[in-house]
Amino acid sequence: MRDRDLYSKILGISAPWHVTDVILDMPAGKVEVVVEHRGEACCPKCGKPCPGYDTRRRRWRHLDTCQFETHLVAEVPRVSCEEHGVVQVSVPWAEGGSRFTALFESLVIDWLKEASPPFTASSTRPPIHATSYSDGMPLHPTLAASLPEIQEACRRAGARALWAFGSATSDRWSPLTSDFDLLIDMPRPLPDLAARFLQLHRDLGRILGRPVDLVSLHGVRNPHFRAELESTRLPIYAAA
């Protein structure tokens, strides 16, 4: 398939990894690139080929491609090494434990170094339908249940405020397909801004157990998107 070849090239995927599917979700403005490991797997610690143990489904946020929010998804093998036990093989596109591809992380850090970082990953999305706090919509139950933990993560990161927006504030949220859209206000200048931003993004994903899209308020340049955000966002955290 041509799109598989295209995405292999865009993402720099090479053997033993193969792009097996490209799933386009037009309404959500997302593309999911499914990557599979084929052949012998090696222990990441000693490099020896080892028998397979099982696989774990993992997901990484990549740079947008053709204005689509792009995610990599892979069943990552775990191998059983005689010396190192059961270990997950490393993937060439991301650091262990990261929810972003390495290229995405380096770009976010570059953006955040700019005076006014254009972190507009979500600004190309379809419009958010109006559902708001003032309509009496309760906060999404998963968000509500994790509120103290989320607030603590925001405090640690030095955030000024955090809001939910998009499907997490409406009944369109689906436990199968939706992620959480969160809007963050970080004070500037702030030492280690990029590291704080990325750490908070990881913490929120861990707390919520779902992919999280963390959009920086400073990066929202599109006035219509910004107005929409301001009328539909639900407050989650505000610094004292």
Which residues contribute to the site for Zn ion (CB under 5 A)? 43, 45-46, 81, 83-84
Grouping H, G, I as helix, E, B as strand and the rest as coil, residue 91 is coil
Nearer to Zn ion, 85 or 209 (CB): 85
**Nearest approach, Cβ of 53 to Zn ion (angstroms)?**
12
Q: Which residue's CB is nearer to Zn ion, number 81 or number 153?
A: 81
Task: Name the residue number minimizing CB distance to Zn ion.
Answer: 43
Shortest spacing between CB 87 and Zn ion, in angstroms: 7
Nearer to Zn ion, 46 or 144 (CB): 46
CA-CA distance, 143 to 149, in Å (whole number)?
A: 10
Q: Minimum Å distance from CB 35 to Zn ion?
A: 23
Nearer to Zn ion, 84 or 160 (CB): 84
- 119, 20, 118, 109: which is closest to 72 by C-alpha? 20
Specify the residue, 58 or 84, whose C-beta has the smaller distance to Zn ion.
84
Closest residue by Cα to residue 31 from 55, 7, 1: 7
Closest contact distance (angstroms) between CB of 95 and Zn ion is 19
Q: How far apart are CA 146 and CA 230, in angstroms?
A: 23
CB of 90 to Zn ion, least distance (A): 12
Q: Are 68 and 31 in contact (CB under 8 A)?
A: yes
Burial class (CB in 10 A: 0-12, 13-18, 19+), 101: buried
